[in-house]
């Protein structure tokens, strides 16, 4: 069952918060290109991350938004599911 999704606009980017990983899991399994940003801290990423995910620590995200294409969809992932 999909959990409630919320959408926020931050810095011109539209963020969709989805508390279920089902959609991302399906996209990864299909082999299609995905834009994944891992917002965990360095120590957490050192333990492992999704292959090809871009790492931008949550605290650095506001300063790094210019590195992301506003026309693309991004999956933001973190350890707890509560960060973004």
Q: Does 64 participate in catalysis according to the annotation? A: no
Which residues touch 77 (CB under 8 Å, ≥6 apart)? 24, 36, 37, 38, 39, 40, 50, 53
Q: Which residues contact 71 (CB under 8 A, 6 or more apart)?
A: none
Which residues are marked as active site? Answer: 78
């Amino acid at each position: 069952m999909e959990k409630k999704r919320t959408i926020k606009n931050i810095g011109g980017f539209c963020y969709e918060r989805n508390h279920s990983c089902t959609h991302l899991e399906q996209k990864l399994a299909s082999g299609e290109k995905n834009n994944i940003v891992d917002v965990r801290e360095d120590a957490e990423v050192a333990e492992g991350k999704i292959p090809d995910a871009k790492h931008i620590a949550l605290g650095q995200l506001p300063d790094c938004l210019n590195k992301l294409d506003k026309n693309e969809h991004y999956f933001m992932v973190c350890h707890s599911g509560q960060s973004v």
